[in-house]
Amino acid sequence: MPLCLSAGAVATVLAVESFTLAWTHSIEKVRWEEDYVLDGNRLRLVEARIRGTGAGMEPPADAVLKDGVWHYRPGLPPQTQLRLARSPYTAGYQLCTKGHCQPLAELLPGAENPSTIVVEACP
């Protein structure tokens, strides 16, 4: 099942089975990453990483520190969609597949500074 991205009337489809969503914390400037797999019509979060700690960024108790990066498995159920708010004060989200990352907004040409991007398994 492919991955659908949308912002308002602009949409695109990516032929992927898994992806990493990455962003930088607005205050602490620390990178966060979440790995997802498409599981039927849902997105299943399989691992998350925090490249440091700071205000409001404490890793969960079961996180493991490897080479300065906290790794953990969030206990969230599979999601039907991710609604990602975009702030003019921070760098936007990145979508990574097969080791290549690019700004999520660039994958939606024509969506001028979208305030919200929706990520979901295509119907």
pLDDT, mean of each 10-residue run, the chain (123 residues)? 90 95 80 94 95 75 91 94 85 91 88 84 90
Rounded to 5 degrees, φ, ψ at 106 are -70, -20
Predicted pLDDT of residue 51: 83
Closest CA to 74 of 55, 99, 46: 46
Predicted pLDDT of residue 59: 82
Range of the domain at 65: 3-121
Predicted pLDDT of residue 114: 75
Predicted pLDDT of residue 86: 79
Number of domains into which the chain is organized = 1
* Angstrom distance (rounded) from CA 120 to CA 4: 5
| pTM for this predicted structure | 0.90
* Angstrom distance (rounded) from CA 103 to CA 101: 7
